[in-house]
Structures are given as structure tokens and as C-alpha cells.
Chain A
Amino acid sequence: MKFRSSIKQPISLTKPRTMSEPTVHHNQHRDDLGSKLGMWLFIFTELLLFGGLFIVYAVYRYKNSQAFHLAAQELDVTIGTINTVILLISSMTIAMSTTAIQKKDKRTTLLLIGTTLFLAVVFLVNKYFEWSGKIGHGLFPGSLVLEDLGQGDVLFFGLYFFMTGLHALHIIVGMVLLGFGFVRVWKDRLTFDNFQLLENGGLYWHLVDIIWIFLFPLFYLIT
């Protein structure tokens, strides 16, 4: 469209910049603080996503306190505790990995991310055995065994599978995120002055951890 060149340039918006003024790199596409802020906002969203479930849990626990009390005794506190410890350690290793990358220690960083991923897999394996145990006993949503136990148990195990299932899904998402971080560190595309992806992955991992910190007592410990 040629006619545009005939339009007079609109008034200049900028004061002429002198050399002494600090240059603001607005065209620079990387903004670490911005992307960290974005991750925090996403974490708020995730917390409220689980928040809805915690409300439902609270209401049904209040309405069926006796049944929830008895149903919680069906869960294996040992596996729950082991999983809690696993997640806490994995949170520690991922936090350490962000320190390691800042110290330019690639080997340790990879080792720490790898450990986190390994622990996540162990968590999921434990979860698998726990779930299949429950399903083996007929304690799953829609089963007749469960419906015979009464409404409180239906709701308890419904919430148990739904909430731990959603949590496991978040573990997998977190693993994918950290997997990206691992590959980037491996290929030297994520380095000591450019580690925001790893830090965001770590933040997300802490979110997954803290949700579990609430799920664990609600399902396993309050009996």
C-alpha cells in the first residue's frame, strides 16, 4: 500500500535520548522476573483448582465425619509417609539444582534434576501399587462393594481417587517440565545466567509438593 508513505509521520513520542540515560532493553525478549511472576500466577490458579476440591472435602467430611474416620483407616499410612518423604527430598534436590547451576556445576545440576525425576517415578510406582491394592479390594468409584459400605465411604474414596489422581497428573506435568530443564542443561542451552526455566520448574515442583502435604494428613492421618 503505497499511499501510506504520503501520510505525515505522527508526532515523535520520544525525547531524544542522550548517552547518559540508562538504556532500557525493551526489545529484549528475555525477562526472568516476568517469567517467574507468570509462574507464580499460574501457581495461584493451580492452588484454587485444588481449592475447589478442598471445599468439597471439607463439606463432606463435616457431613459424614464418622464414615470418613473409618474409611481413612483403610489407607496405608506407611506408604503415605514414604511418599511424603520422597516428595520432600525431591523438592530439596530440585531446589539444590538451581543453586548448582548458578555455581556453573553442570554435572551436579544434571545429577540433582535426575534424582528428582527418579524420586518422582518412585512416588508414582508407590501410588500405582496403592491404587491397585484399593481397586483389588473393590474400593473404587462405581463398585458395588463400595456402595454397600455406605455414602460416606463412596464420597471418601471418590475424593481419594479424584484428588490423588489429579495430583499424580500434576506430578507427570512437573516431570515433563523438569525433563525439558534436564535436556536444556545437557545441551548447554540452560546455563548459570539463564536458568529461569529450571527455577520455574522447581517452583512448580514445590507446588506439587505442598498440595501433597495437605492431601497426606487429610486422607491418611486424620482417622
Chain B
Amino acid sequence: MYKSYLEEDMGRKGIFKWILSTDHKRIALLYLYSMMFWFTIGVVLGLLMKLELIAPGKTLMGPQAYNATFTVHGVIMIFLIVIPGLPAVFGNFLLPIQIGARDVAFPRLNLFSWYIYVLGSILVIISLFGNGPPDTGWTFYAPYSFKTGTNMLPAALGAFVLGFSSILTGLNFIVTIHRMRAPGMTWMKMPLFTWTLYGTGWIQLLATPIVGITLLMVAGERIFGIGFFDPAKGGDPLLYQHLFWIYSHPAVYIMILPAMGVISEIIPTFVRKTIFGYKAIVISTLAIAFVGYFVWAHHMFTAGMSGTALFTFSILTFIVAIPSAIKVFNWISTMHQGSISTEIPFLWATSFIFIFMIGGLTGLVLGSLATDVHLHDTAFVVAHFHFIVFGGVGFAFFGAMHYWFPLIYGRMYDSSWARTGWIVFFIGFVSLYGPMFYLGIKGMPRRYFDYLEEFHGPNIISSFGALVMITGLVIIVTNLIKSARNGPIAAHNPWGGTNLEWRIQAPPILENFDEIPVIDKATYKFD
């Protein structure tokens, strides 16, 4: 008798059906809903900043409020959304299904990770009260982070706690992939999304503790006045920056690798062709995960390092761009001579490639020493990382949402509204962040509530872009929420995908498979 995971409540009632369930699919949705809550707050804060910047001088808020707004916006968006984002939601939902397992290796640890996530969120909320929200920027740069009178300690501890949630998720995924693949599911038959989760898992495991200990040191600094990063006591603030970016640069790859995995899943399905260069994509995934560890100091080109260090980190930054470019090449080649159907997920995937290329190439502008000196700490940097972090992860996330929606809820969304939402969002996105490249080159600094009159024009476009983009978001999210509740029942495997997740009934049953499948053919084989 078929009973989907949404109906199977194990005899629990109300909210306990969710918060006590160790089913990886329910945990994925727990993450999804908590992230939707935070994303709404983060977006509103971002909109407030854009409204402040619609005209020079004070329009909505003064300097202190603006500093707090961009700090909290950054902390929420980075630590609560994009870092857990794709792995915690789609990784949790799909990883066991894609490799033919009934659940992750440690289901209880998986639920525990979500509780740690919630604890981290509570700490972030606490930081908003008391002496006022933190105003250090999400990077918590020393020595200001322990000198400021604002309430930054809970925010830093929140980031520390969230790091552990991320580590445990990564650990769980690595063990699951090593131990629980179905018979016949060899490494080179694994779906590419699973491969990117594997690479991501290692980054989560090996990079996150560094920022953990760094934030603990900042806490020690604030509570006991130890002096690790305090120049007055012999500490070195530059060392803080190094330690912080040793994690926080690889964190960018925690965000972007699963996004690339999503795109590698969507494209073959909608061009009805096997992925071009499967092995190259796998190797480039691992290469990005590996080289990504050694580029951190490109965030610090103007902080004062030796010439050798500058040169080395710049070269390494260029090297890490190569595997990303290989992936783009492979996606485009997959489309070549394919039978393309421009369904909604495919639109998100192609616009991801477009946005990601702009984000990636402007990253190289910032990775070159000479241009970086000019552009450092300008709006150009903000535009660049929003193209990568929001453009990359955001487009992939919505792509994934529209692609796997029929699997997750067993229902279909309204495709004309989804298409409208996508085009409005896309136009809004480009007009929001596009002008900031220009503003940055012209010399408008980031993180100021005010600017000179000469920057006014592009800022107006940017602020209106924000409104357009949010309109798009509202359309997309409303459509998805309505469809999750009342949408028409989706056909079996609506896109004609080849992975395991499309061969089971949607929504999946409690432990995914009645009987563990035996995999005997290659991935991405279309008939």
C-alpha cells in the first residue's frame, strides 16, 4: 500500500510529525521552511538598504542603522541561507534517493544538525537586542569586532554554532556516499549532484573548523581580553583576516559546488542528451574543492602582504577559474545538437550559466592585483559576489525547486506564472546588480549609507531593479506555495529524467524504495 512520506506520520501529532522525524525528506523540508523565514528577513533588509541608497544623503536610516542592516543582512544570507542552502535542503532530500539508499548514514545526527541550525538562528536573533545589532559586517573583522559596543558576541557565536551544523551535515553525506550506495552504483555512475555534495562535504568538514576556532578566539578576546588579534597587546589583526578567509573562501565553494551539481542535473534532462564530459565535471568538482583552499588571501590584496604572497594568491585564483570554466564548457557542449525543451527549470539553468559567467569573469578582474587595488571595497565587489552567491546559488536553488518540485510534493506548479516570475526576477536581478559594476569602477565605495551626487543615476536604476526583483520573487514563491498545497497532481517523471529519483513514485515513500534497486546502466542515458 503506497503511503508517501508526507502522509506517513509515525503516529506523531501536529508539529511533532516534523520536529521529531528523522526522515531525510522531512528534515530537508524543515530546513527549507526555516530558510524561507530567514530569506524573507534577509531580502527585506536588502531592500531597506537599496531604498536608503535611492538618493544621496539620509533617506531612510542613518549610518549606524545602515551598518547594522548590512551586517545582519550578510550574517543571515551567508550563514543561515547560502552555506546550508542547497546541501541541507536538496542534498538531504535527494542524496539518499540518488544513490539508492533508504536514508542518510546517521538519521538522528541529521535531525540533530537541524536543531543546531535552529540554536544558531536563535543566537543570531539574540544579537539583535541588547546593545543593538552588530555593525561589524558579516566578516567580524578584528580589532573592531571586539571593540564595538554593539551586541556582536551572540552573532559570532551563532556563526560558530551554525558551522557545526554544516560540519555534521557534510560528515553525514560523506559517510552516506561511501557506505550506502546501492549495488551497482559505482563512483563513476553517481549522479553529478551527488558528486558535488561529496566535494562540498569535504570542504565543510575541513574548512569550517578554522572559522569556528577563529570566532571562538574573538569570543575569548571579548570576554577575557586575551589579545590574540589586538595590536595593543601584541596580537595581529591581519592574522584574523587570514584565518577568517581560510574558511570563508572555501565557503564560497560550499555554496557554488552544489549549485553546479544542480545545473549538471537539469541540463541533460531538458536537452535529452547524456552529459558531455561526465568525468571532466567530476574531476573539476574535486579540483575546485581542492584548489579552493589555497586562494583565500585574494580577499586581502590591499591589507598589506608580501609581494610573493600577493603574486601566488593571484595566480592560484586564476587557476581555480579553470575547472569552473570547464564546467561551463561542458554544459554548453551538452546542449549542442540536443533536443532542447525550454521548460521552467531549463530557463533557470541557462540563466544561471549567463549570470555565473558574468560573476566569474568579474571575479578574475578582482583576482588581478592591479585592478583589485582600484576596485577593492567598491560597489564592484558587491556586484561581483551577488552575481556569484545570489546569482549562482539563487538561480540554481530556484532551478532545483522548479525541477524537483513534482518529486517533493507530487504536484505541479503553474508554468505560466513560473515563467513570468522567472523573467521578472531575471530582469530585476540584472538591473539591481548590473549598475553596481559601473558604480564600482567609477569609485563608489561599499558599506556607506551616503554617496556623491555623481553616482545618483545608476543607484536609482539599481534600487528600482531591487523592487522588480522582489516582485519576481513574490510571484515565484506565491506560485510555489499555492501549488504545493493545491496544484494539480504531477504526472510520473514529468521531465523524463533518468536518475533514480525519477523512477520512484512521487512523493517518495518513507524509506524511498520498497526494495533497494540494482543499478546496471550508466547515468544520464536517454533512450
Contacts and interface: CB of A to CB of B under 8 A. Distances in A.
A213 to B, nearest CB: 19
Nearest to B174: A41
Interface of A: 1, 3-5, 7-11, 13-15, 17, 24, 26-27, 31, 33-35, 37-38, 41-42, 44-46, 48-53, 55-56, 59-60, 63-64, 141-142, 147, 150-152, 154-155, 158-159, 161-162, 166
B205 A45 contact: yes
A37 B4 CA distance: 32
Nearest to A27: B102
A24 to B, nearest CB: 6
A62 to B, nearest CB: 11
B503 interface: yes
Given A42-B171, A49-B212, A13 B500 contact: yes
B489 A3 contact: yes
Q: Majority SS of interface residues in chain A?
A: helix
A150 B234 CA distance: 8
B500 A155 contact: no
Nearest to A55: B243
- A-B pairs, top 9 by smallest CB distance, nearest first, are A151-B234, A13-B517, A52-B213, A49-B209, A158-B226, A142-B225, A34-B179, A48-B209, A141-B226
17 contacts: A4-B2, A4-B4, A10-B493, A13-B515, A34-B180, A41-B174, A49-B212, A51-B210, A60-B236, A141-B224, A150-B234, A151-B227, A154-B227, A155-B228, A159-B228, A162-B217, A162-B228
A26 B102 CA distance: 8
Contacts of A51: 209-210, 213
Contacts of B216: 166
A161 B505 CA distance: 57
Given A13-B500, A147-B233, A162-B220, A26 B180 contact: yes
B205 to A, nearest CB: 5
Q: Which among B101, B227, B243 has the highest number of chain A CB atoms within 10 Å?
A: B227
Q: Which among B175, B500, B516 has the highest number of chain A CB atoms within 10 Å?
A: B175
B214 interface: yes
Contact of B105 (A27, A31, A53): A31
Contacts of B492: 7-8, 10
A35 B179 CA distance: 10
A48 B515 CA distance: 40
A26 B226 contact: no
B38 to A, nearest CB: 25
Contacts of B316: none
B280 interface: no
B106 A38 contact: yes
A160 to B, nearest CB: 10
A38 B235 contact: no
Contacts of A55: 243
B504 interface: yes
B503 A13 contact: yes
B174 A50 contact: no
Given A27-B511, A44-B205, 8 more contacts: A13-B503, A35-B105, A38-B109, A53-B213, A59-B236, A141-B224, A147-B233, A155-B227
Nearest to B246: A52
A217 B172 CA distance: 35
Contacts of A27: 102, 511, 516
B322 interface: no
Contacts of A158: 220, 226-228, 233
Contact of B167 (A5, A17, A45): A45
B178 interface: yes
Nearest to A3: B489
Given A34-B178, A141-B227, A9 B505 contact: yes
A10 B513 CA distance: 12
B182 interface: yes
B206 A48 contact: yes
